Amino acid sequence: MKLQNNGPVGSKKKDPVQFATNETMDKKAFDFHAKISEHEGDIMSVATKHVITIPPTTKIIDAIKIMTERKFRHIPITNAGTNKIEGIITSFDIIDFLGGDKNQLIENKYKGNLLAAINANISSIMQPHVVSIHSTGNIKEAFELMLKHNIGSLPVVDSAGHVCGICTEKDFLTFASGLPTNMSVAGHMSKNVEKASADMKIGDAAKVMVKNNFRRLPVVKKGIIIGIVNASAIMNFFGNGEVFENLVTGNFHEAMDVPISSLVSKDVVWTTSDIDLGEASSLMLKNGVGSLPVIDNEELCGIITERDILRAIAE
């Protein structure tokens, strides 16, 4: 396993990218709301514009392919005629389709026939009630909406209800990136980490993720972390066509019986519990990840996510 942190686990070598919390505690306390105020203006100043949307009649597999190819975790669903927002689909909805309540669509309506199920309309598994913000809304309002509703993305709509942008947790993480927050990872990480064994089946991992409302799981072998599997990795298993290499009868369970170890990202970007949340933000943004396993003394002791950091700095 390769651990990307400029040094082996437990190394005494100083990483120039990360600095310990005790080196930043004497600095002026970080005020996230003040930082946002520095960028006052409408939400369009931070939102991604020219948003790709899909109609509700899009097939589930086609939506998955688009998300895989473009590395999206969310796509707004809009009416093909009016272009008004009607729903949203996320990578977690796809996992729910594979291992949660939405899996009943496969089991009951399509009797376990995966090929038939993934050709159903995306409207059958999308979230129809979408939290959005008007294009004249401000950054602070958008941030508070995302925290209040525990969502990872927020579509931006104009007065006609047309999608004109989208903002995500990552957009807000940039406000804290590299700045001393005077808060350590240790105080805000999840400590009781749910893990997946290397031989756990993809279907079982999807069930664990949905049951616990997790987007990712550390994968361990003989007590050692060998990688991370997240909702996007499982979704990509379908989007890039790998799943069909394992199909003989077309049955859903046949496709999901593949070991989760085949999907793990083995280049693990990790951190230690003593670094500042601002530096953890930098590591996430630099490496394009939404979470960091926390490793102290060669042991996995927690996991910190984008949302954990945003909740902490909003307090």
Give percent helix, percent strand, percent coil of the chain, each to the nearest 5.
Answer: 40, 25, 35
- What's the structural domain count of the chain? 2
- Residues 29 and 151: their CA atoms lie apart, in Å, by 27
pLDDT score at 3: 37
pLDDT score at 8: 32
Domain end among 173, 188, 205: 173
pTM of the model: 0.83
Whether residues 42 and 167 fall in one domain: yes
Whether residues 195 and 293 fall in one domain: yes
Encode pLDDT of 127-177 as tens digits: 999 999 999 999 889 999 999 999 999 999 999 999 999 999 999 998 888
Whether residues 51 and 66 fall in one domain: yes
- Residues 83 and 68: their CA atoms lie apart, in Å, by 23
pLDDT score at 84: 95
Whether residues 148 and 235 fall in one domain: no
Encode pLDDT of 97-136 as tens digits: 998 889 988 999 999 999 999 999 999 999 999 999 999 9
Whether residues 114 and 192 fall in one domain: no
Band of residue 16 on the pLDDT scale cut at 50, 70, 90: very low
Whether residues 119 and 192 fall in one domain: no
Whether residues 213 and 271 fall in one domain: yes
pLDDT score at 29: 54
Q: Tell me how far CA of residue 203 lies from CA of 10, 97, 212, 243, in angstroms.
A: 34, 11, 15, 12
Whether residues 8 and 69 fall in one domain: no
Domain end among 123, 150, 173: 173
Whether residues 120 and 141 fall in one domain: yes
pLDDT score at 13: 30
Domain end among 153, 173, 193: 173
- Residues 240 and 11: their CA atoms lie apart, in Å, by 38
What is the CATH number for 237?
3.10.580.10
Q: Residues with Cβ < 8 Å from 201, sequence gap 6 or more?
A: 256, 257, 258, 259, 260
pLDDT score at 38: 59
The boundaries of the domain holding residue 229 are 2-30+176-314
pLDDT score at 25: 37
Encode pLDDT of 224-279 as tens digits: 888 899 999 999 999 998 888 877 887 888 888 999 999 987 788 999 999 999 99
